[in-house]
Structure 1
Amino acid sequence: MRPTTKDLAEAAGVSLATVDRVLNGRSGVRQKTIDAVNAAIQEIGFERNQFAATLARRTGYRFAFILPKDGDEYLSEIIKRIEETKEAGRAEMLDIKVLRVDEHDPHKTARYLSRLKGQDYDGAAIMAPETPQIRDAILRMKERGILTIPFVSNQRDEDHHDFVGIDNLSAGRTVGSLMGRFTRPREGTIAILTDTMQARDSLERRLGFDEVINSSFQELTVLPTLETYGDVQRTYDIVRNVVSHQKELVGFYVMGSEARAPLEALSDFGDANQFVVIAHEKTPTTIQSLRAGKLDAVVTQDPGHLVRSAVRILRSKCENRTTLASQEKIRIEILIKENL
C-alpha cells in the first residue's frame, strides 16, 4: 500500500494539519518541522496524489510568464507554446497568463513587478535582463509569496538550479567550434551582434565563444560585441557599417534570440558566400535563411520544452516536491540545411 498523509504525520511526529501546511507550502511552520516532514517523505517513500491535492485546494495554480515587451519571431513561438500549455492545463486547473515588461527600462520593469500580488499569482517564470533593480524586485516578489524561476535569460540567485533554458556557456562554445571549423582555412575577423549585453544569456554565450576561439582558432580575431537594443534601424546601420569597414570579415555571429532584422540586413548589405553566419533559435526566418544558403547553422532550444518545463518546475515548487532533472534539462540543438 502507498503511504498516506497519516503515515507521514506519524513518521515525522507531527499532526495531520502540520503535514498539510508543509505539503502546500503554507506559512507558520518552523524550518525544523519542515525538515522533519521532508526527511519522513524520503524515509517512507511518500508520494502525493497531486490531482487529489489540487482538488482539495478548491482552486488551481495561477502562473505568469513575464516576457519582454519587445520581441519578434522567437518570442512569438514561445507565446504560442504558452497558449498550447494553457489550453492543455485547464483540466488540471492551471491558469497561465502572459505579462509583458519593458526590458530596456529596468526601473519601469521593477515597478511593474512590485505591483504583482501573491493572491493573484502562485508563481512566475521571468525572462528579463539581470540588473540590480530587477533582481531586487524579484526578491520582493518572493517575499510576497510568489515563487519565481528564471526563464531563457538567466537571473542568478539561490535557486539558479531551477533556471529553464540551455547552458549558455556551452551554447557559446558550440557556436565558437562551428565558426572556427566553418571558416577554415581563412584568417580574419568575426563580428558579434546581440540585443543587449545586460542579458546573462548573451554574456555567457560571448564568454563561451571567446573561450573556444582563443584556445583553438587563434587565426580569428573577434570584434567587440555590438548591441542593437532591439531597434531595427540601429541593427541595419550596425550591419552596414561592419560589412563596409571590416574588409577581413569572415564570420558573423547573431548572438541574440531574435535574428530576423540582422539576417535581413546581412542579406541587403553582404554576400551570402562572403562569410560564415551562425544564429540562435529556430524561427521562420532562420529556417528560410538556412534553406536559401544565407545562414550556415542555427543553435537552438525547443520553445515547447521550455514552457512545459517551466510549468512543471513552478508546480513542483508550489507542492514542495522535486522534479526529474533529466526531464527538465533543455538540450542544445544544432540545425543546418541538411537536417531541417
Structure 2
Amino acid sequence: MSGIKKTTLEQIAEAAGVSLSTVDRVMNRRGGVSPAREARVLEWAHRLNVDRVMFRAYMRMLRVAILMQSPKNPFYLGLRNAFNDIGPALAEMRLHCDVHYLQLKDVNATVRQIHGIASAYDALIVVCPDDPDLAATLRQVALAMPVITLVTDIPDCGRLAYVGPDNAQMGRVAGELSGRFIGPQGGELLVVLGMKSMIGQGEREAGFRAVLASRYPSCQVVTTLESGENPRRAGDLVSRALSTWPGIRGIYNISSGNSNIVQALRAHGKEKQVVLITHELTADRRRLLLAGSIDAIIDQNPWEEARRALEVLARHFNRASEPDNHSEHTPFQIYLRENCPAEGQAAYGFRAGNR
C-alpha cells in the first residue's frame, strides 16, 4: 500500500462515487463492501493507472459456488477436477471455488439447496436442467449475484453468461459421423439421452436428427431413450430396444452408460455391427474406443470451460483487465482410434472414470 498515495485513494473514491473509507476497506480487505461497489472501486483504480497487481493483493476473496451433478458421472468428475486444477492458477483474481453436488431427483429439495448455497457466496456457476422452478430460483438468485450457466444453458434464468460448447453443432457432428460410418445402405438408429430436461442434450439430439434428415435420409432414428443418467438403465433400455428393433445399425449415446451399452451389444452379438458414437474421453471410453467397441468420441474441454467461466466472473467484478477475445462457445475434439491419446494422457485432464 506504500506505493499508492493517499491522494490517489481520494481520486479513486471521488471517481467511483464512494467514500475514502470504502476504498480503504477494499484495499485492506476489511469487509463490509458489496461486490458491486468493490468492482466499481477496482474499475476506477485501473482507469487511474493504479498498479493492478498490487491492488489485487488487497482485495477480499470472492467465493464462487460450482453447482453440478455427482462425480459418479465421469464427465462431472472431470469438470470437478478441472475447477480444482484451474482455481489456484486464477488465485490472483481473488476467486475461491467450492463444488456442490445437486440432488436433481427432487426439484423442491434442489430449490432449497440452491437458496441455501447462494446465501453464502458471491457468484454461482451452474450445471442443471432447464426446469421452470429451477430457472425461477436462479432468476431470484441472479438479482443479488452473477449466475453463469455451464455446459448446458438455461436461457431464462437471468444468467450473466453461458459458457460451454455449441451442443447443436456437436450433435450435427455425431450425425455426420454416424451417416458416414453406417454407409449409403442406411438403417435404424437409437438415441440415448440422460435427461431430456438438459437443454444441451436436447440440442445435441436435434442437431443429430437434422443432419441425418438432410444428408443421410436412409438412416432413421426409431426411438429416443432416456436413462435418467443411470448407466445400468441405459444398458437395459438399449438391450430391450435391440430386441424390438433387431436391425439397429447405429446408437448415439449423449450421456453415461457406454460400458453397459457395449455389454448389451455383446449380449445380442452386435458389438461390431452397430456404430456407437458418444461423448467425453474418459479412461474407460478410451479403452472401448481402442477396442473398436466405440467408433468415435466427441470430447469437450472441461478445463477450458472452467477457466472461461471464472474469467467471465473476474471481468464482471473488474478483476481482470484483459479483454475477452474468445469465441462464444468452447472447443471440442473428435477422437477416433488413430488419434486417441495414450493412456495416462486422456484429454483435458480427465481422471479415471468407468461409465
Partner of 1:75: 76
Q: Deviations over 1:136-191 (max 9, x none)?
A: 11112123x33210011211137667212100011111111111111112221110
**Residues 180-329 of structure 1 mapped to structure 2, 5 A cutoff:** 180-256=179-255, 259-319=258-318, 323-326=323-326, 329=329
Q: Identify if the C-alpha distance between structure 1 residues 124 and 48 changes in structure 2 by more than 3 Å, giving closer, same or farther.
A: farther
Q: CA shift at 1:82, angstroms? A: 1.8
Cα distance in 2 for residues equivalent to 1:15 and 1:166? 39
> For 1:56, which of 54, 58, 68 is the aligned residue?
58
Cα distance in 2 for residues equivalent to 1:16 and 1:128? 38
Tell me, what secondary structure is at the counterpart of 2:205? helix
Q: RMSD of the TM alignment (CA)? A: 3.3
Q: Deviations over 1:26-72 (max 9, x none)?
A: 39x9xxxx8xx99x99xx97777554443333x21211110113642
**Residues 28-107 of structure 1 mapped to structure 2, 5 A cutoff:** 50-57=52-59, 59-69=60-70, 71-90=72-91, 93-107=94-108
Partner of 1:168: 167
Q: CA shift at 1:102, angstroms? A: 1.2
Q: Deviations over 1:218-268 (max 9, x none)?
A: 111112310011224322221111122212211100012564443444344
Cα distance in 1 for residues equivalent to 2:261 and 2:156? 32
Cα distance in 2 for residues equivalent to 1:229 and 1:291? 27
**C-alpha contact (below 8 Å) 1:191/1:253 kept by paired residues:** yes
**C-alpha contact (below 8 Å) 2:190/2:250 kept by paired residues:** yes
Q: Identify if the C-alpha distance between structure 1 residues 63 and 193 changes in structure 2 by more than 3 Å, giving closer, same or farther.
A: same
Q: Identify if the C-alpha distance between structure 1 residues 96 and 152 changes in structure 2 by more than 3 Å, giving closer, same or farther.
A: same
Give the partner amino acid of 2:129.
P
Q: What is the aligned-residue identity percentage?
A: 23
Give the partner amino acid of 2:82.
R
Give the partner amino acid of 1:94.
L
Q: Name whichever of 65-74 and 329-338 sits farther off.
A: 65-74
Give the partner amino acid of 1:56.
Y
Partner of 1:121: 121
> For 1:26, which of 27, 34, 37 is the aligned residue?
37
Tell me, what secondary structure is at the counterpart of 1:225? strand
Answer yes or no: is 1:142 the counterpart of 2:142. yes
**C-alpha contact (below 8 Å) 2:232/2:257 kept by paired residues:** no
Cα distance in 1 for residues equivalent to 2:269 and 2:52? 56
**C-alpha contact (below 8 Å) 1:66/1:126 kept by paired residues:** yes
Q: Identify if the C-alpha distance between structure 1 residues 259 and 75 changes in structure 2 by more than 3 Å, giving closer, same or farther.
A: farther
Tell me, what secondary structure is at the counterpart of 2:209? helix
Tell me, what secondary structure is at the counterpart of 1:319? coil
Give the partner amino acid of 1:304.
W
Cα distance in 2 for residues equivalent to 1:266 and 1:83? 36
Cα distance in 2 for residues equivalent to 1:210 and 1:50? 50
| Stretches of structure 2 lacking an aligned partner (at least 5 in a row) | 1-7, 27-32, 341-355
**C-alpha contact (below 8 Å) 1:128/1:199 kept by paired residues:** yes
**C-alpha contact (below 8 Å) 1:63/1:95 kept by paired residues:** yes
Q: Identify if the C-alpha distance between structure 1 residues 17 and 223 changes in structure 2 by more than 3 Å, giving closer, same or farther.
A: farther
Give the partner amino acid of 1:240.
S
Report the number of matched residues. 322
Partner of 1:133: 133
Cα distance in 1 for residues equivalent to 2:150 and 2:158? 12
**C-alpha contact (below 8 Å) 1:5/1:16 kept by paired residues:** no
Q: CA shift at 1:103, angstroms? A: 2.1
Q: Identify if the C-alpha distance between structure 1 residues 338 and 101 changes in structure 2 by more than 3 Å, giving closer, same or farther.
A: same
Q: Identify if the C-alpha distance between structure 1 residues 181 and 140 changes in structure 2 by more than 3 Å, giving closer, same or farther.
A: same
Instruction: Give the TM-score normalised by the residue count of structure 2.
Output: 0.79
Instruction: Give the TM-score normalised by the residue count of structure 1.
Output: 0.82
**C-alpha contact (below 8 Å) 1:66/1:99 kept by paired residues:** yes
Cα distance in 1 for residues equivalent to 2:219 and 2:170? 19
**C-alpha contact (below 8 Å) 2:136/2:157 kept by paired residues:** no
Q: Identify if the C-alpha distance between structure 1 residues 46 and 285 changes in structure 2 by more than 3 Å, giving closer, same or farther.
A: farther
Partner of 2:344: none
Cα distance in 2 for residues equivalent to 1:64 and 1:23? 17
Q: CA shift at 1:112, angstroms? A: 0.6
Q: Identify if the C-alpha distance between structure 1 residues 82 and 242 changes in structure 2 by more than 3 Å, giving closer, same or farther.
A: same
Cα distance in 2 for residues equivalent to 1:162 and 1:267? 43
Cα distance in 1 for residues equivalent to 2:110 and 2:50? 37
